[in-house]
Amino acid sequence: MGDPRRLLRIDIYEKLRAEILDCRLKPGADLREQELAARFAVSKSPVRDALLRLEREHLVTIAPRQGYRVAPISLSDARDLLRLRAVLECASVAEGAREASEQDLAALDRFRAFRASQWLEGFAGYNREFHCALARLSGNQRMAAATCELIDQSHRLVQVSVEAVQTRAAPGLVSEHGAIIDALQERDGRRAAALLRTHVGAAERRVADALSRAAIVA
Whole-angstrom distance, CA of residue 96 vs CA of residue 89: 10
Q: Do 19 and 88 reside in the same domain of the chain? A: no
Q: Do 190 and 105 reside in the same domain of the chain? A: yes
CATH code, domain carrying 49: 1.10.10.10
Is it the case that residue 72 has pLDDT exceeding 90?
no
Cβ proximity of 176 and 123 under 8 Å: no
Q: Do 63 and 145 reside in the same domain of the chain? A: no
- Overall number of domains in the chain: 2
- pLDDT of 1 reads 44
Q: Do 104 and 182 reside in the same domain of the chain? A: yes
Query: Of 70, 91, 110, which residue constitutes the final position of a domain?
Result: 70
Q: 3-state class of 112 per DSSP?
A: coil
Mean pLDDT of 101-128: 83
Whole-angstrom distance, CA of residue 23 vs CA of residue 43: 25
Is it the case that residue 111 has pLDDT exceeding 60?
yes
Q: Do 98 and 129 reside in the same domain of the chain? A: yes
For residues 127, 132, 138, 143, the Cα torsion angle rounded to the nearest 10 degrees is 130
- pLDDT of 118 reads 58
Q: Do 87 and 51 reside in the same domain of the chain? A: no
Domain that holds residue 86: 75-212
Q: Is residue 55 part of a domain?
A: yes
Q: Do 96 and 159 reside in the same domain of the chain? A: yes
Q: Do 97 and 57 reside in the same domain of the chain? A: no
The DSSP bridge partners found for residue 61 are: 69
Cβ proximity of 21 and 155 under 8 Å: yes
189-212 vs 75-99: helix crossing angle, rounded to 10 = 160
Average pLDDT for the chain? 86
- pLDDT of 213 reads 67
CATH code, domain carrying 117: 1.20.120.530
